[in-house]
Amino acid sequence: MKKTLKKKLLKNKKKETVYQKRFEKHFEELKWLYTELYGNNSMFAELCEQMEGFYRERGEALKALDEKREKNPGWYKRNDMLGMMFYIDNFAGNLKGVQSRLDYLEKCNVNYIHLMPFLETPKGRSDGGYAVSDFRKVQKELGTMEDLESLTAACHEKGLCVCMDFVMNHTSEDHEWAKRARQGDGEYMSRYFFFDNDHIPALYEKTVPQVFPTTAPGNFTWVEEAGHFVMTTFYPYQWDLNYKNPRVFNEMMYNFLYLANRGVDIIRIDAVPYIWKELNTSCRNLPQVHSIVRLMRMISEIVCPSVLLLGEVVMEPEKVAPYFGTLDKPECHMLYNVTTMATTWHTLATGDVRLLKRQLDIVNSLPKDYVFLNYLRCHDDIGWGLDYPSLMGEGIGERSHKQYLNDFFQGYAGGSNSRGELYNADPFSGDARFCGTTASMCGVEKAGFEQNEAMMEQAIRLDLMLHAYMFMQSGIPVLYSGDEVAQVNDYTYKDDPYKAADSRYIHRGAMKWDLAENITDSDTVEGKVFQGLDRLERIRKQEKAFMANADAWTIQTWEQSVLCIGRVFEGEKIIGLFNFSENDKTAWINETDGEYVDLLSGEEMKAVGVNVPAYGFFYLKKK
């Protein structure tokens, strides 16, 4: 008995030593940054005490995972990483339903799932779950925190990572803090931005851009009960938090650690650039934002080092890059490659790869340690935030081009087979964003409606080509649930009064499990797409050149519609060719350094003057 007790004490002592080493490694910078922001020693002491408390509460399995990933800090940069994002209710009803579908996710070769917002939100005033009223409760219809812990544990047993959204810029107007602030409680009013007249709000409005000028104009909302204006950058029911108040930072970090201790592997920080507000600025990308993200990174590395930070920063890759931090002071582990996604669809609509090539060259010039998440579609709309100065050099105007893109993807222009709807259309500026599933944008919906077999084959070929191109980019590819079976737009959202006004729900439809039953039938659309993706995913897993830190570059094809990407890792070289035209094209490349083999067909080829079929592609590996 005494020997067992002694072993247990030694084991616990070792664990405490592990924590102390992590804490001591970061203490000086942690204190310096916190003091620079807040100058409040007692609040810093409280934060440190709470951090140790969350470490002690962290489960043994999660602590073991922490130590395992600490020994291999680049574990998420492997070439077998593949993500899928979905809304829990649309995918499987609730958290228990998701757990029952893990075998299906394995069949999809997925090892990283992003659960779209599932924390408690008010019905009809949630912005798709991004107006959180309680950071420690799951929406009742989706389950409980215990269900979340059960799911994450089951995922870890199968080697799957779980990602969730952490909405830290604002809370719902129904959050407990907001309720108390509405009643005039000064302590809680100080956690937001309250003003008793419109003088200061008017000064902010002079320099702060509007996020949704059509559906939610302005950056402030009058709260009748409190007799004050409150800052609401996004929607009137989302109240911006005041991170100048150390109580806000501390409490949100406690929520962060609470969720990490439920087994979440990747915390997606929503709307990162907006976190810090200063008068006479744009309230975007301020230096204090980077201090906060750096503090989060250190807190995570001390308490739960297996957890990754994914930053939602919607800007061009070169402007996003500062959110990675530096090698000695890193911030986010991963960021989204948003601009490339939008440019991909521009390339399809124009049949011109020049802008896309330029952007990929910029991404490829960034340090290889940077990990981007790449995707064709996400839960949100496609905003046409393209490089218009470059396009202007080609005689393409911004307003007219946005109009063309929206017309093209609605199926009104350019001989397009795409289907979808506009979001946030502004008749005065002519600006609008676009919504639609990948399959519908590729023509699957139109071909199915018209029962046109030739059109369907072309749509499937285009769908697979776009995925093959996405897999060739550096970083982690992420599928939107349903894309693996070519699911089309869901127009039933218009029958739901809570969704009808938001056309983004057209591509957020419920998973069609009856279609998923066809994945083994190669005579069906679902089978052709699923099996085609499966082949691409397996190739990506098997070939070293797809490692995140491989050398990558674009190759001139001398053909406007064909993109060529090269990748090399440890002497292994792969060339990807992608035809964005509905006509056969020749890529006038001249890679004469040896013989190549097409990884899809097994055919030996020369990487010289390659004929690429309409919407076709090749993965050519040097022998």
Q: Is 445 a catalytic residue?
A: no
- How far, in Å, CA of 58 to CA of 22, rounded? 15
- How far, in Å, CA of 577 to CA of 559, rounded? 11
**Phi and psi angles of residue 595, each rounded to the nearest 5 degrees, phi first:** -85, 155
Label residue 12 exposed, middle or buried (CB < 10 Å: 0-12, 13-18, 19+).
Answer: exposed
- For residues 492 and 507, is the Cβ–Cβ distance under 8 A? no
- How far, in Å, CA of 566 to CA of 564, rounded? 7
Task: Specify the DSSP element, H or E, that contains 88.
Answer: helix 88-92
Tell me the angle at which helices 287-303 and 246-260 cross, rounded to the nearest 10 degrees: 40
Own/partner contacts of 316-320, CB < 8 Å, gap of 24 or more, are 316/359, 316/362, 316/387, 317/359, 317/362, 317/363, 317/366, 317/372, 318/362, 318/366
Task: Specify the DSSP element, H or E, that contains 503.
Answer: none
How many C-alpha atoms does 250 have within 13 Å on its Cβ side? 17
- For residues 300 and 62, is the Cβ–Cβ distance under 8 A? no
- For residues 577 and 607, is the Cβ–Cβ distance under 8 A? no
- What DSSP character marks residue 175? S
Burial 460-483 (b: 16+ CB within 10 A, else e): bbbbbbbbbbbbbbbbbbbbbbbb
Q: In whole angstroms, how large is the CA radius of gyration of the chain?
A: 25
Quote the distance between the C-alpha of residue 462 and its chain's center. Answer: 23
Q: Which of 120, 147, 265, 270 is catalytic?
A: 270
From residue 617, how far is each of 109, 163, 196, 358, 457 by CA, in Å?
A: 21, 31, 61, 20, 15
- For residues 147 and 96, is the Cβ–Cβ distance under 8 A? yes
- For residues 480 and 438, is the Cβ–Cβ distance under 8 A? yes
Say if strands 308-311 and 266-269 run parallel, antiparallel, or are unpaired. parallel
User: What are the DSSP calls for 512-539, one per residue?
Assistant: -HHHHTTTT-TTSHHHHHHHHHHHHHHH
In this structure, what token pair is assigned to residue 83? Answer: 């993500």
Quote the distance between the C-alpha of residue 74 and its chain's center. Answer: 19
From residue 567, how far is each of 456, 539, 601 by CA, in Å?
A: 31, 14, 19
Specify the residue for token string 């040896």.
Answer: 594
Q: Which of 165, 173, 174, 312 is catalytic?
A: 312
Helix/strand/coil for 496: coil
From residue 195, how far is each of 170, 198, 278 by CA, in Å?
A: 17, 7, 14
Q: Is 483 a catalytic residue?
A: no
- For residues 327 and 369, is the Cβ–Cβ distance under 8 A? yes
Would you tell me how many other CB atoms lie within 10 Å of the CB of residue 388?
16
Which of the residues are catalytic? 270, 312
